[in-house]
Structure 1
């Protein structure tokens, strides 16, 4: 029987090593031995597979359909185009013609095409490496377009395989959706685009994005805040239950129609972009991840509604993190889970079936076909579920989706779509579901005992000053006359208590915190009589619309007062699960208006103006394209440069300064510009200038593109690209 190796034969961990075809056998020896041993690809494919791992990925990107994450009444109104459609037209008409005849370093011509299976053909693939895009002056028009639109999430530069998971299931506006492990925000954006598919109606559904890794938090908040999205920060395997009301019963517990789980994996499918993976790959990592992935998938299935669908995916090629995890959970819930075949959703794209058999390699680089054939030390450290099931055909593992790097010139991806059509055996049934439960005296006493145990115990002697005060004096008078008759009189006098002084030496740490801390910021409901709302309502003459049932007020300590607009379900989740959303609640919803300081005037913000545009009757000025372009290009524009109609509308507002909105409405797809545009500016006595504030995006270049005008490319060359 083979003994456990004393030392794991890791490859050298040097991120600066240049892995190339000449030394790949040395630096990726474990990788090659394992994937050849499990027959990941055929012998004929192997050279192409290995070569693809060392090639730089080409630039790919997608245009966002719903940037503001709210209902945009004017998006596509009257046959006009949406912003995403106009941006796509700009790319085709203004950018692509400038790339004709441009050659890359290898002598090939630049190639760009829309991805056929992506909705509305808004995703694009190229044959341009990122380094070439950034350094080749002839590619500057495309570089400026990508950098400028990416900055404010009108465009996402992402790998093709990263676009796939949200497209493998049907998402409707009424669906409740959970991203159990949300990554950089791309998938959240795609999910929200489908939730907001009807711009004229507030969707009932919502997305809960669990951003466990703090490095992604700000990205999520910047890209995806809106009326129907919430953020949480919890571990995947212990994600808490959420409730839509104060009652904590089964009827109010949230179960999700769709669950997305981006599993924690070794990520060897990202080797083309993650250069460290080429020298740090180890078989041990996947074996360690297996147990963790099962916990995450198990929790995701518990939160899934009956007949709901869970999308489990990883950027790993290793079956120990993929098919083995899926098979283990199906085995734990026989008759309740089923894999769905979703390959038809990716037409003209090369996908592979899931693996049905594989071997497991130990850290000593020895293969074992079954758990029983492995030595005792290996069985002790690893789970039986690492191995392929003997009756693999019963699990339909071939319905999983595998994408390898050399198939479509992409990274690698594994996806499994699981449908839940029965209860899970490990979940305890809800006792008396739908019935009113009465607490017995025994249970009440037991509960009281538990609460007593939770009370803080004093482990150190304390000193306190005791004030003894007389509060009441009572006396009895007994009188006996000559005939020995006795009478009793009772008299009572009361006194006010003297002020009590509690010494600070009596305070526990908890008491000190309660005595000194200010009230934490949080959400509160408002009514139509709220003075800030009434001021905004009067300022903009808002009629026939009362947003207060959907508004919550968030007061920051000694800072601004923010008013957020929510869908009803998201509002209920925030109010009835305050501890869960304590650290992220402020970033939920869409900001409608803000009061910067207690003494300042509340102001409507651009996001809010977009959401309630049809109901605004003042400080909203219709403008032609010519005026709009002037407003975008001039940082301080005098009234005199604008058309007579626009100038008179500004002068009619009087001497009062304030935020004014200019609206260029498109009434057909042949209008110029072909989509409606709303622009925020600050009005002064004789001129207007851009608004400033932490909640305001400078999107002038984006709006110029919507007008068909190429902005100054120099202004966008300094931006970062990720």
Structure 2
């Protein structure tokens, strides 16, 4: 079993977060050398001799800054244009201390030029004025979710998973959440109300709450976060009145790993790396993969990935799954996917080296058969060369391994030399746990297929109840009438999260496709989060005390009538961004937008909405507004206000304020996380901590 390491989880920082000076000093003192690592990979032969020096030098070098632009297509391209027009020209031909600085470059394999890489040091970013200006821009856009800081290779698995708006998607090991965010974005691509959804799972309770924090800003009603050991992920009932269980269209298994592909940022890997980690994790990884394949629909696609270069964690796991499932699964040929990505093929032969660095043979005591490479006959059938290996020196990234599985349709006439013809049945959760010691299974082979025996969750497993409201509830009926909500909106999908089951302060909304799942699985799933805020109680002395939250506006704007929607010109909108509660009498004197003023004065007090038409090429802005008797106020967060002022009006002071606020917030979060770690909090025994082995996020 791989040993647990005391990595402080506060090391995950957002844009602009400052590194702890003492930690940074200790990092620089670590020697980036490991004789066993070097011998292992030289003997393995995956890196040609002519490339070895470049490979090792790249592994020892600092990881470049990479980011991707998120959001809807119009919105994303507007942020991209801002970067390309207002920042990129000034980053070409720059010098620092007499040396030329490489300009940012787009990742050629990422769709629509929406991902970029900066091959510069942190010192340059902090001290060069042009790069410092770009950093402030990235901080402001990251704070509102328009940009995601993510390692380049971490972006690959969600892309090759090929998620569509109608798909049901399971992310089995989701924290910290950058890949999950990509899955949600794909689900919502050009579609505010997709019919599919994402179930994001993590084994560690605290990390699952961190996951919520990362994903809430995407404002998706099609997301559910749960907390289970991925090896034993429960079957999900499709509805409470049937005995049908959900099979997913897409499954992502980005499993815990030894993480030598992350050694450019997690420098402790140089000191701690040994062959024992990969051997110990192998069975956990295989169990998660097999569970994911069990939950995959026929014709569905599963991506297995690690940030490790070790074949014991990669091809050996893939081969064991192919051996177990036979003709029911196959590897997808990804050669034509992501053109521009430099990659290597998977391998089908490797030595098994134990933790004492002794070569072991199949059948030796203390070994698992699944560690060893396939036979020549299996190799011909498995097509392990279809796996993707990305090495750091190929395009200045981290190391990564990606494999795409497809569950073959039962009607398929595909012929295979593999013998298994029946889909393996699921074991009971109890039997699986009996085969484990400390979270690592004693064997990777399923010996006795049995039907699943359901273990009921304790009554207090879900911290907050999910109680759906009747669409005829008096408080909801007020909202339907006040906002003119049409009948196309599913009014039965509103819920509260309190013990009384009554709407007291907040009413949430989940997508209709998730409602049945939540109601049918209260005793099966450990719910952490689902739903976006729809209505929040504001005041009781007005016609409707419930205001619609900004989180749900992308949905609700399609279902409300125009009675409380007010058009505003761009000059008046700027005033609303810069001035809180502008008085109607002042607006009347300025004549900045008489149509806006007249419409606002005609409305009753309460929540209204402003619409800013910016032309066909740019995204329409649709935001909530509070209408009072003598004044109005735009209900937008401070971060969003600063970002809009910068993006729409070029306000540099606003972006500086946003960067400073984000840095203070990140520092506070870091201090809180480190405090909790020092108090003795640790990851679940059943799953090796994934933070030292994740490439989702990067340190600044």
- TM-score normalised by the chain length of structure 2: 0.78
1:438 — aligned with what?
Answer: none
Q: How does 1:504-519 map to 2 (within 5 A)?
A: none
Cα distance change of structure 1 residues 577 and 588 upon mapping to structure 2, 3 Å threshold: same
Distance 1:35 1:597 in 2: 66
CA drift of 1:192 comes to 1.6
Could you tell which deviates more after superposition, 239-248 or 523-532? 523-532
Residue matched to 2:555: 611
Deviation at 1:255, TM superposition (A): 0.4
Distance across 2 between alignment mates of 1:19 and 1:40: 29
Cα deviation for residue 47 of structure 1 reads 0.6
Quote the residue 1:32 is aligned against: 38
Tell whether the 8 Å contact from 2:142 to 2:149 is kept in structure 1 after alignment: yes
In the TM superposition, what is the alpha-carbon distance from 1:104 to its structure 2 partner? 3.8
1:662 aligned partner: 610
Name the counterpart of 1:701: 642
1:540 to 479, 483, 501: 483
- Aligned 8 A contact 1:188 1:224 in 2: no
Distance 1:560 1:403, change over 3 A: farther
Indicate the residue corresponding to 2:74 in structure 1: 82
Residue ranges of structure 2 left out of the alignment (5+ in a row): 6-22, 411-420, 429-452, 667-698
* Aligned pair partner of 1:242 in 204, 228, 236: 236
CA distance in 2, matches of 1:528, 1:334: 49
- 3-state SS of paired residue (2:603): coil
State the alpha-carbon separation in 2 of the partners of residues 598 and 612 from structure 1: 23
Q: Contact 1:559/1:596 (CA < 8 Å) preserved in 2?
A: no
Match for 2:494 among 543, 547, 551? 551
Q: Pick from 518, 533, 537 the counterpart of residue 591 of structure 1.
A: 533
Structure 2 residue 653 is the aligned partner of structure 1 residue 653: no
The corresponding residue for 1:212 is: 203
Contact 1:566 1:589 in 2 (8 A): yes
Q: Could you tell me whether the CA contact under 8 Å between 2:315 and 2:346 is conserved in 1?
A: yes
Measured against aligned partners, the alpha-carbon deviations of 1:530-564 in whole angstroms (never above 9, x if no partner) come to 22222223433445654413333433669944322
Structure with max Cα Rg: 1
Q: Match of 2:26, SS? A: coil
Query: What is the aligned counterpart of 1:347 among 325, 339, 363?
Result: 339
The 3-state SS of whatever aligns with 1:310 is strand
Contact 1:264–1:314 (8 Å) recurs in 2? yes
Tell me how far apart the structure 2 counterparts of residues 131 and 579 of structure 1 sit (CA, whole Å). 52
Q: Secondary structure at the match of 1:699?
A: helix
CA distance in 1, matches of 2:106, 2:583: 43
Helix, strand or coil for the counterpart of 1:258?
strand
- Do the aligned residues in 1 keep the contact of 2:93 with 2:100 (CA within 8 Å)? no
Q: Give a deviation string over 1:499-554, Cα, whole Å, max 9, x none.
A: xxxxxxxxxxxxxx99xx9x985233334422222222343344565441333343
2:610/2:624 contact within 8 Å kept: yes
Q: Residue 639 of structure 2 contacts residue 658 of structure 2 at CA under 8 Å; is this kept in 1?
A: no
Structure 1 residues 220-246: Cα deviation after superposition (integer angstroms, max 9, x where no partner): 442445221111110011000011112
Higher deviation after alignment, 415-424 or 31-40: 415-424
TM-score (norm 1): 0.76
Q: Distance in 1 between matches of 2:651 and 2:105?
A: 21
How has the CA–CA distance of structure 1 residues 270 and 282 changed in structure 2, closer, same or farther, with 3 Å as cutoff? same
Instruction: Note closer, same or farther for the CA distance 1:189–1:106 as it changes in structure 2 (3 Å cut).
Output: farther
Residue-by-residue CA offset, 1:575-600 (whole Å, 9 max, x unaligned):
1111344541xx31222212369999
Give the 3-state SS of the residue equivalent to 1:333 in structure 2. Answer: helix
Residue correspondence of structure 1 range 148-167 to structure 2 within 5 A: 148-167=140-159
Q: Note the C-alpha offset of 1:162.
A: 0.7
Partner in structure 2 of residue 679 of structure 1 = 623
Report SS of the residue matched to 1:217. helix
SS at match of 1:345: coil
SS at match of 1:326: helix
Stretches of 4+ moved more than 6 A in 1? 596-600
CA contact (8 A) 2:347 2:384 kept: yes
Give the secondary structure class of the aligned counterpart of 1:570.
helix
* SS of match in other structure, 2:141: helix
CA contact (8 A) 2:212 2:225 kept: no
SS in 2 for 1:98: helix
Name the structure 2 match of 1:381. Answer: 366
> 1:474-505 deviations in whole A, cap 9, x for unaligned?
xxxxxxxxxxxxxxxxxxxxxxxxxxxxxxxx
Partner of 1:419: 406
Q: CA deviation at 1:143?
A: 0.7
The equivalent of 2:658 in structure 1 is: 716
**Superposed counterparts of 1:104-183, under 5 Å:** 104=96, 107-183=99-175
Cα distance per residue 1:678-710 (max 9 Å; x no partner): 233333333333548xxx574012223442524
Q: 1:571 and 1:647 mapped to 2: Cα distance?
A: 40
Larger RCO, structures 1/2 (Cα 8 Å, 6+ apart): 2
Report if aligned partners of 1:258, 1:310 keep a CA contact under 8 Å in 2. Answer: yes
| Other-structure match for 1:437 | none
2:467 to 521, 524, 529: 524
Aligned to 2:65: 59
SS of corresponding position for 1:168: helix
Aligned equivalents of 1:171, 1:46: Cα separation in 2:
36
CA–CA distance in structure 2, aligned partners of residues 424 and 184 of structure 1: 36
- CA distance in 1 between partners of 2:469 and 2:288 (Å): 38
Matched with 1:501 is none
2:185 aligned residue (184, 193, 204)? 193
**Residues 548 and 624, structure 2, Cα contact 8 Å, conserved in 1:** no
Contact 2:643–2:658 (CA<8 Å) still a contact in 1?
no
Q: How many residues align?
A: 591
CA-to-partner distance for each residue in 1:146-187, whole Å, 9 max, x for gaps? 101111221101111011101113322221111111132111
Deviation of 1:418 (Å): 1.2
In structure 2, what is the Cα distance between the partners aligned to 1:566 and 1:116? Answer: 36
Give SS of 1:592's match: strand
Larger helix fraction of residues: 2
Q: Which residue of 2 aligns with 1:510?
A: none
CA positional deviation for 1:630? 1.3
Q: Distance in 1 between matches of 2:129 and 2:615?
A: 39
Please give the alpha-carbon distance, in whole angstroms, between the structure 2 residues aligned to 1:352 and 1:172: 27
Contact 2:166 2:194 in 1 (8 A): yes
Q: What SS is found at the alignment partner of 1:707?
A: helix
SS in structure 2 opposite 1:419?
A: strand
Structure 1: segments with no counterpart, 5+ residues: 1-7, 67-80, 373-378, 431-449, 456-512
In 1, distance between residues paired with 2:27 and 2:532? Answer: 47
- Are the counterparts in 2 of residues 60 and 126 from structure 1 also a CA contact under 8 Å? yes
